[in-house]
Amino acid sequence: MIELVDVSKGYEAGWAVRHVSLTIKAGELVAVLGESGSGKTTLVKMVNRLIDPDEGEIRIDGRDVRTEDAVALRRTIGYVIQQVGLLPHLTVADNVAMVPRLLSWSREDIERRVAELLELVGLPAATYGDRYPDELSGGQRQRVGVARALAARPRVLLLDEPFGALDPITRVQLHSELRRIHHELALTTIMVTHDMVEALTLADRIAVMFRGELRQLASPHELMTAPADDYVAQLVAMARQQGEQLRAAAGVES
Amino acid sequence: MTELLRGLPPLLASHLELVLLALAAAATISLPLAIVVARRPRAAFVVVTVAGVVQTVPGLALLALMVPVLAKTGWLSPFGFPPAVIALTLYAILPILRNAVTGLRGVDPAALEAARGMGMSPWQVMRIVQLPLAAPVIAAGIRTATVWTVGAATLATPVGQACLGNYIFTGLQIRNFTMLLVGVAAAAILAMTFDALLAATERALAGRSRRRALIPTAIFAALVVFVVGVLPALADQHGARARPSSVTATSRTAVTSVRIAGKTFTEQYILMEVLRARLESVGIAVDVAQSLGSTVIFDALVHADVDAYVDYSGTLWSNTMKRASGPPRWQVLAELEGWLAQAHHIHSLGPLGFENTYALAVRRDTAERLGLHTLVDLERVAPELALGGDYEFFGRAEWTAVKRTYGLRFARTTTFDPTLLYEAVARGEVDAISAFSSDGRIAANNLVVLADPGGALPPYDAMILLGPRVADDPRVACALGGLHIPVEQMREANAMVDRDQSSPAVAAAWLLARAAPIDESCKAR
């Protein structure tokens, strides 16, 4: 369980996150939805202490993250970013093995875990383990990014626009894989996105951010049927319109 | 040529020693510094700027500057290896530092964020991500520094460090172009070899197989071992002379080896050979430090890094004692010798018998036609004549003093490069020139030096100076003491080298054949 209690973070330009409180239950997949500058990335980076809040408290399973060593904390939380950030001078296997190595796992354990994870993300170690990042496609790279984030068996997975740079087909493939992995490993997942459809199709609940504030936290159904304010209503209207256009293009009667 | 090539290994060895030590020191300073400042843009800017300012100091000046600096601190010998290594280190810092900072700061921000996000400590981010990814850029900086340092190290000669510059400086001065080219070619080949090896390392680092980087690195390491360990030993077997200890010996035991030195002009190379021949003839081993800068050489004598050389009274009087010109010749000599003995325990063997001073010279036929013997005679005809001078003459106190003393006013004055000056008067471009009184080209161009009865030009008596280590040694004093060289002979010897391309040793032998032989009793002492 992840709890954010009245969290605020300001920069010289103004508030990035303001008085946000939200609770994410264990095993839940929550999408943080917002346009750029809405504070959604700042919010997620405060969970693994890449950014520390000015006010408020963040708890994981009841423990205040500020009381933990930031470096040790991050090793227990999976983290995936849009640009992936694989280390280009290391092989796929070495990239995935990084956190277990930082944690000084035994060589056999690391080898077994790397094989397991590459299997999980559909890139068998025998074929892909010795490749370098620049020999992979964008989608394959992000699969490695996910495998790397999961290497040390984290309970919490943070994803910052993980599929933003991928082509639509790869993206949809990865959506279903993320869902599957989330369930298989019983993760508590927070995913940042600016894509309403992605949020609607993937998440158990959606947290809508606008100008640093949390406007609504609700399930996809609730969001679509009962938007809390004008901004959310506008988002919902756009999503509906897109859906209708799609149906019209496909020749389906509404 | 074979003689030159035989002399190359020891020069090459000390050149390499200098370069490799300076590079190792520069890397040891720059890389940790770059790591510290890489995350602090403002600190990085300051550090790189300071290194850049050091870099703008001309190499020769930076090297020469180290001599007084080290002399002041007193920790290290201000002569030879220490100032050369320190100056070259300062010189090599910039390219290494700048590339390292650029490389470390240029690492893909996504890789850094992922590394931090997965739980690497700042040092782990540096070690696992930044350093490996910046390695090719860092290697390129080391490569640039290496090529620069191989070149700049040739400038270590004037501060008394043997290196490939010895052939270059000496070759230029005594117009031995084969020697010059051997020195230049050796330095160039060395630079290209290092460049090729390091380029291979760089390529391997940029590629993904780190193992390939091991090959050029291993060659480089083998070279270092060869140079620092094996080459000096080989050089010793080829009869290179061991250096005398630079530590001042206070014991009264007789001196068995002497290090002599010389400045960077023809006369000095000849006189060095004269000193060498005389010392060796009484059985003293001689080691030579040639092509030293004018201030470096005196400091080296004071600190007993060299034991003997020929200097000129006026140079020491005005540059070292900081006295004004004016007193007569005998007074300058007496005060100078007293000061040298008391302040520095340096023993002067007295004037050698000739001066090398600024003087005004005219063509012999001009002198005869106008009846010119002294500068006094010049006054009435000067308004009809043109005077040529080298770059500095018309700005020097000597010229002001001559003008004032003799009331000279020339029709025009022209500045020439020193190498063209004598020819200019010989061809009648000008009627009189500023000359150096012992220059061989005075005789070669049939010129006459006008006497200076008014004493406007300070005396520049050549004199042999003995440093503290040998000042009281009877055998050294005996071997060098009896020398007398009239100015005509010195001019002729200079001309033999400048005009006839004889070697300084041949000119020295010619001088010695005309000098009084060494007292046989010297050898017995």
Domain boundaries, chain A: 1-71+158-164+197-254
Distance from CA of B5 to the nearest CA of A (A): 46
* Interface contact flag, B119 A74, Cβ < 8 Å: yes
Distance between CA atoms of residues B106 and A63, nearest Å? 37
Say if residues A208 and A34 touch (Cβ distance below 8 Å): yes
- Which range (A172-176, B144-148, B158-162, B278-282) has the least confidence? B158-162
Alpha carbons B217 and B215: distance in angstroms, whole number:
5
Q: Is B207 on the interface with A (CB under 8 A)?
A: no
Q: How far apart are CA B73 and CA B157, in angstroms?
A: 22
Q: Which pLDDT does position B246 carry in this prediction?
A: 38
Question: In B153-283, which residue ranges form alpha helices assigned H by DSSP?
Answer: 165-173, 177-206, 210-225, 231-237, 266-281
Of A48, A75, A84, the CB nearest to B110: A84
Backbone angles phi, psi at B467, to 5 degrees: -75, 170
pLDDT at position A55? 93
Q: In sequence order, what DSSP letters do the residues of A37-66 get, joined into one string? A: TSSHHHHHHHHTTSS--SEEEEEETTEEGG
Domain membership of residue B248 (yes or no) is: no
Inform me whether the C-beta atom of residue B383 falls under 8 Å from chain A C-beta atoms. Answer: no
Q: Which residue has the tokens 């460090």?
A: B161
Per-residue pLDDT for B134 more than 70? yes
CA distance B331 to B328: 5
Task: For B236-285, write each residue's pLDDT tens digit.
Answer: 544 433 343 333 334 445 778 899 999 878 899 999 999 999 999 888 99
> For the whole model, what pTM was predicted?
0.72
Mean of pLDDT values over B190-219: 78
**Lowest pLDDT segment from A128-137, A207-216, B71-80:** B71-80
Question: Which class is domain A1-71+158-164+197-254?
Answer: alpha beta
Kindly state whether residues B203 and B272 are assigned to the same domain.
no
Residue numbers in A near B129 (CB within 8 A): 87
- φ, ψ of residue B42 to 5 degrees: the values are -70, -45
pLDDT value at B225 more than 80? no
The average pLDDT across B361-373 equals 92
- The CA distances from residue A223 to A179, A227, B83, B358, B439, in Å, are 20, 5, 77, 100, 102
> Which residues of A lie closer than 8 Å to B, measured between beta carbons?
48, 50, 71-76, 79, 81, 83-89, 98-99, 102, 132, 145, 148-149
| Assigned domain for B391 exists | yes
B370 and B283, same domain (yes or no):
no
Q: Is the confidence at residue A253, as pLDDT, over 70?
A: no
Return the pLDDT at B244: 39
Mean pLDDT (chain A) is: 92
- The model's confidence at residue A233, banded by pLDDT at 50, 70 and 90, is very high
For chain A, say whether B132 makes contact (Cβ under 8 Å): yes
- Span A121-126, mean pLDDT? 92
Residue B247 domain flag: no
Predicted local distance difference test score (pLDDT) of residue B296: 81
Between A and B, how many residue pairs show a Cβ–Cβ distance under 8 A?
65
| Final residue of a structural domain among B420, B449, B478 | B449
Residue B210 has pLDDT above 60, yes or no: no
* pLDDT at residue B166, as a whole number: 85
Looking at residue B235, its pLDDT comes to 52
Is A81's CB within 8 Å of B116's CB? no
B71 with B15, same domain? yes
pLDDT of residue A4: 95
In tens, the pLDDT along B334-343 reads: 889 989 988 8
> Is residue B292 located within the same domain as residue B418?
no
Same domain, B473 and B329: yes
Q: pLDDT tens digits for B469-481?
A: 898 888 888 888 8
Closest to A85 (Cβ–Cβ): which among B110, B119, B128? B110
Q: Is residue B398 part of a domain?
A: yes
Residue span of the structural domain in which B411 resides: 358-449
CA atoms within 13 A on the CB side of B232: 14
Do residues B131 and B31 share a domain?
Answer: yes
Same domain, B309 and B367: no
Kindly state whether residue B250 falls inside one of the protein's structural domains: no
Q: What is the mean pLDDT of chain B?
A: 84
What is the per-residue pLDDT across B7-40, written as a single tens digit (0 to 9) for each?
888 888 889 999 999 999 999 999 999 999 988 8
Number of domains in chain B: 3
Sheet containing strand B308-312, edge to edge, reads B285-289, B257-261, B308-312, B461-466, B347-355
pLDDT for B142: 92
Chain B residue with minimal CA distance to A158? Answer: B117
pLDDT in tens, B439-451: 888 888 889 999 8
Output the pLDDT for position B1: 72
| A84 with B121: Cβ contact below 8 A | no
Q: Do A85 and B108 touch (CB under 8 A)?
A: yes
d(CA B497, CA B439): 11
Residue B375 sits in a domain of what CATH number?
3.40.190.120
Nearest to A81 among B113, B120, B208 (CB): B113
Asked if A221 and A237 touch (Cβ cutoff 8 Å), the reply is no
Overall average pLDDT of the B362-366 stretch: 93
Residue with the larger pLDDT of the pair B345 and B216: B345
> Distance between CA B315 and CA B279 in Å, rounded?
25
